[in-house]
Structure 1
Amino acid sequence: MDTKATSYPKDKIKILLLENISDKAVELFRANGYSNIQKLSGALSEENLVKAIKDVHLLGIRSKSMITPEVLSAAQKLQAIGCFCIGVNQVNLKEATRQGVAVFNAPYSNTRSVAELVIGAAIMLIRRIPDKNTAAHKGIWLKEAAGSYELRGKTLGIIGYGNIGSQVSVLAEALGMKVCFYDTETKMPLGNAVDKKTLHDLVASADVVTLHVPDLPTTKNLINESVIKSFKKGGILINYARGEVVDLTALSEAITAGHISGAAIDVFPEEPEKNGDSFDTPLKNLSNVILTPHIGGSTQEAQQNIGEDVSNKLFQFLEKGITNGSHTVPALNLPPQEGAHRILHIHKNVPGVLSAINTEMSKHDINIVGQYLKTNDEIGYVVLDIDKKLSSHAAELLRQVKGTIKVRLLY
């Protein structure tokens, strides 16, 4: 059996890729037989996305496209969303779950790119390279060692000890740094890293503080005026996480006052929609500050890795019904059944649905070769392998089961 074959012709599956997703993803889709692909360089407004998504089966986005309930309601044929980035906060996951739309991302693919840039920024800031670079561009020779230090022997404080934070930890120790971290969850330290019990303890202990936390209500302005006051005098702050995590006005005042000696900021509370748009921040033109346009994970290697990771998850779902890595549809990973057709059934998680499915199949003498069920709080996901001769009839019966959200005859 060719598990790559689908009952719905691949050339009819409409794919919309926004925000200049890596060409590697497009190559993979074409290599797997998907030819109906539209790729756009930028994001779309909610109004334009509502118009564009009506007949789309598969949507690929990065971090700018906001997938609201209105967008999802207009997506009459949407099967899955691929977030070609680390986060999924740009998608209304609750509504996507209700509508049975699988949402995938690439949580690990740009880890190394971000980690390397954090270490690079730390070196630049502790040597005060931004100021020397600015002076040289102005024709001023500023050869001095004042305020310039090595990273070796200094303490790096990591807030958020997940995939990226732990990778930064390893790189920092290799440079001879001491490492401490703070996380709201218990994490196993790597190397000689020390777990700090409070945020204030961490920032008071560190020469350089780097943030690696998600965008949550609990992390908004996590680094605020009160926390900044606990920093070591002359401390450095690096944020390659999320824009809402740092109170930039408080940070600007601390830099101006000399309490914070430098900062590298890559993410901002409000960011321009596209290249060339105007941009403003309280940190502009401050001494020893590196500002970058949300490029922490923007390397060729990371974009290729993301393109491969998310594309492969989408293929697994479209062609086999596998939902590993989905944030909405319960995770199932199942082997193919020889001599059977596979049907996917997504339904509201209410009592009696599985019983109703089995009753309908039994009533019509339809043999179930294999059956798999997984649920979350909102929905249930059933995969049925049905005798080939009866699969079309079975799919129609399944659409009539009370509580059904989506039915798809896979192959």
Structure 2
Amino acid sequence: MTKPKVLVSDKLSETAVNIFRDNGCDVDFQPDLGKDKDALLAVIDQYDGLAIRSATRVTEKIIDAATNLKVIGRAGIGVDNVDIKAASRRGIIVMNTPFGNSITTAEHAISMMMAVARQIPSADASTQAGKWEKSKFMGVELTGKTLGLIGAGNIGSIVADRAQGMKMRVVAFDPYLTDEKAERLGIEKVEMDELLARADFITLHTPLTDKTKNIIDAAAIAKMKDGVRIVNCARGGLIVEADLAEAIKSGKVAGAGIDVFEVEPATDSVLFGLPNVVCTPHLGAATTEAQENVAVQVAEQMAAYLTRGAVSNALNMPSITAEEAPRLTPFVKLAETLGSFVGQVTESAIKDVQILYDGHVSEMNTKALSSAVLAGLLRPQMADVNMVSAPVMASERGIRLMEINRAKSGVFDGYIRIDVTTATTTRSIAGTVFSDGKPRFIQIKGINMEAEAGPHMLYTTNGDTPGIIGKLGTMFGEAGINIANFYLGRNKPGGDAIALVELDAPVPDDFLEKLQGHPDITSAKPLEFTF
């Protein structure tokens, strides 16, 4: 039997390389190859596995040339350098190591906060230049100050714990943080505007998504205290760097610690050279312990898949065995789609998730199915979540999960229903899989309907009054938007009605605003699904 061949194109430890060999893989260790995209492109078709860090960019062009590639393993959590959609289309599994560097990144954020508070880098440079400028480098204490966390997941929670050890007050904004989890962490859950107004220090611990991109801009900075200090060791793009630079020049912001940039490597930045701005070259995960942990973990995961078919920490495939895959996979996709539906229409903190497995679905690997539900539910806010990390992240946020298995109780041989409770409402959705293997919605908000899930959809609610369907159709037609499928349901004549509209392309923003402002439409939400 031919051994699977793995290319290591970034710097991984010798221990990780040996793990591949010890588990029956041939390893080609070329730690600088990933920096040369043309050289990588020329050889990538020779390999079954590709192990990387952040230097290698796995573009669609690379993936198209990787005719034998089965798995890409990223030693670390961020996969911004991998085209996951292109990999999925080619059937290539993308793995990461979501928890190997949490402590290291949290400690770096604390270090940056202390360096900014006491102007340590500037004071060091001045002293070593033979100056003695004690009065120039007057700092501030952390004790008694308010730290504002934007994101209170795994890393944010560790930062909160360390900050409390320094007697700081901690407030946090995180849509997925429940009151119970906040109380357990000893932090105060607040809305974004309140955090901006109260915090003396602000640290960011959120992935880069459409909702978090440019979350700190000129408008957000204007709401902050004068003299605030900001630290970002999470992702470049969370802060509008030009706006932060202007705020530092004006004195509105007293200092900043920046480890990640909009464009990396950051060889030039509007932040460079500004007073009390501490910049580091994406060192959040750069400790000996963290680098070893993630390298060993990714080697073990990739070797297990290539030699035994085991899948773990995959961003685009469920963790299931080879034996159960054919029967389970369509229902995993259904579970993820149901979760994604609720996740995309829910904006408040999730408290409880109840999942009902009815009929033959109750006899399947419901742990994998529940993980798929949670992954779909959390992904709209947390881009890096996968089926392995989703249950942990849900637990960290105090989300309670309940599973119910029961024998066949309706017209369908098997189906899944999820009920998600937030602080303000409960959302319910059910679905099944027909013989074609495609996910179907069969009930939304307790209203029966049958709708096939599509990549681009629009979900609307309204009162059941005459003429609504015609008005919707006219509005779509006038906007030049083609309808692929139109699904309807209502709970009773004259009661509540819903519509699911499948479109050929995403809903334009201006058209969505028009729908949301229409007097006859209660709500309109765009939905995007990946198949």
TM-score interval, smaller chain: 0.7 to 0.9
Contact 1:324-1:333 at 8 Å conserved across structures: no
Deviation at residue 183 of structure 1 after TM alignment:
1.3
What is the aligned partner in structure 2 of residue 300 from structure 1?
288
1:323 equivalenced with 2:311 (yes/no): yes
Contact 1:213-1:242 at 8 Å conserved across structures: yes
Gaps in structure 2 of 5+ consecutive residues: 332-363, 374-435, 438-531
Match of 1:25 among 16, 32, 46: 16
- Name the SS for the 1:131 alignment partner: helix
Match of 1:194 among 154, 176, 188: 188
Q: C-alpha distance in 2, partners of 1:330/1:303? A: 26
Deviation at residue 144 of structure 1 after TM alignment:
3.5
What is the aligned partner in structure 1 of residue 227 from structure 2?
234
What is the aligned partner in structure 2 of residue 169 from structure 1?
160
Deviation at residue 34 of structure 1 after TM alignment:
2.5
Task: Specify whether residues 145 and 67 from structure 1 end up closer, same or farther in structure 2 by C-alpha distance, changes over 3 A only.
Answer: closer
What is the aligned partner in structure 1 of residue 132 from structure 2?
141
Task: Specify whether residues 134 and 346 from structure 1 end up closer, same or farther in structure 2 by C-alpha distance, changes over 3 A only.
Answer: farther
Deviation at residue 46 of structure 1 after TM alignment:
4.3
State which drifts further: 89-98 or 39-48: 39-48
State which drifts further: 135-144 or 176-185: 135-144
Q: C-alpha distance in 1, partners of 2:76/2:100? A: 8
1:284 equivalenced with 2:278 (yes/no): no
Which structure's relative contact order is higher, taking Cα pairs within 8 Å and 6+ residues apart? 1
State which drifts further: 302-311 or 320-329: 320-329
Deviation at residue 282 of structure 1 after TM alignment:
0.8
Contact 1:130-1:289 at 8 Å conserved across structures: no
Match of 2:40 among 22, 41, 49: 49
The residue identity in structure 2 corresponding to 1:125 is: V
What fraction of aligned residue pairs are identical, expressed as a percent?
34
Contact 1:321-1:344 at 8 Å conserved across structures: no
Instruction: String of CA shifts for 1:363-405, please: whole Å, max 9, x gaps.
Output: xxxxxxxx9898989xxxxxxxxxxxxxxxxxxxxxxxx99xx
Q: C-alpha distance in 2, partners of 1:347/1:51? A: 37
Deviation at residue 49 of structure 1 after TM alignment:
2.8
What is the aligned partner in structure 2 of residue 313 from structure 1?
301
The residue identity in structure 2 corresponding to 1:90 is: N
The residue identity in structure 1 corresponding to 2:200 is: D
> Which one has a larger percent strand, Structure 1 or Structure 2?
2
Contact 1:158-1:181 at 8 Å conserved across structures: yes
What is the aligned partner in structure 1 of residue 206 from structure 2?
213
Deviation at residue 106 of structure 1 after TM alignment:
0.9
1:88 equivalenced with 2:104 (yes/no): no
Q: C-alpha distance in 2, partners of 1:160/1:82? A: 26
Q: C-alpha distance in 2, partners of 1:170/1:271? A: 30
1:50-199 mapped onto 2 (5 Å cutoff): 50-144=41-135, 147-187=138-178, 188-189=181-182, 190-197=184-191, 199=192
Instruction: String of CA shifts for 1:212-259, please: whole Å, max 9, x gaps.
Output: 111222222111011111111111000111111111111111111111
Task: Specify whether residues 344 and 17 from structure 1 end up closer, same or farther in structure 2 by C-alpha distance, changes over 3 A only.
Answer: farther
TM-score (norm 1): 0.75
Task: Specify whether residues 54 and 258 from structure 1 end up closer, same or farther in structure 2 by C-alpha distance, changes over 3 A only.
Answer: same
What is the aligned partner in structure 2 of residue 256 from structure 1?
249
Match of 1:268 among 240, 261, 264: 261
- Name the SS for the 1:243 alignment partner: coil
Task: Specify whether residues 17 and 36 from structure 1 end up closer, same or farther in structure 2 by C-alpha distance, changes over 3 A only.
Answer: closer
Contact 1:20-1:42 at 8 Å conserved across structures: no
Q: C-alpha distance in 2, partners of 1:44/1:372? A: 41
Instruction: String of CA shifts for 1:279-310, please: whole Å, max 9, x gaps.
Output: 11111111111111111111110000001211
Task: Specify whether residues 148 and 343 from structure 1 end up closer, same or farther in structure 2 by C-alpha distance, changes over 3 A only.
Answer: closer
Q: C-alpha distance in 1, partners of 2:327/2:78? A: 24
Gaps in structure 1 of 5+ consecutive residues: 1-7, 273-277, 335-341, 351-370, 378-401, 404-411
What is the aligned partner in structure 2 of residue 388 from structure 1?
none
Task: Specify whether residues 372 and 148 from structure 1 end up closer, same or farther in structure 2 by C-alpha distance, changes over 3 A only.
Answer: closer
Match of 1:9 among 2, 6, 15: 2
Deviation at residue 329 of structure 1 after TM alignment:
1.8
Contact 1:196-1:202 at 8 Å conserved across structures: yes
Contact 2:95-2:314 at 8 Å conserved across structures: yes
TM-score (norm 2): 0.59
Contact 2:156-2:205 at 8 Å conserved across structures: yes
Contact 2:232-2:258 at 8 Å conserved across structures: yes
Q: CA RMSD in A?
A: 2.8
What is the aligned partner in structure 1 of residue 396 from structure 2?
none
Deviation at residue 52 of structure 1 after TM alignment:
1.8
Contact 2:203-2:231 at 8 Å conserved across structures: yes
The residue identity in structure 1 corresponding to 2:303 is: F
Contact 1:100-1:328 at 8 Å conserved across structures: no
The residue identity in structure 2 corresponding to 1:9 is: T
Q: C-alpha distance in 2, partners of 1:24/1:200? A: 47
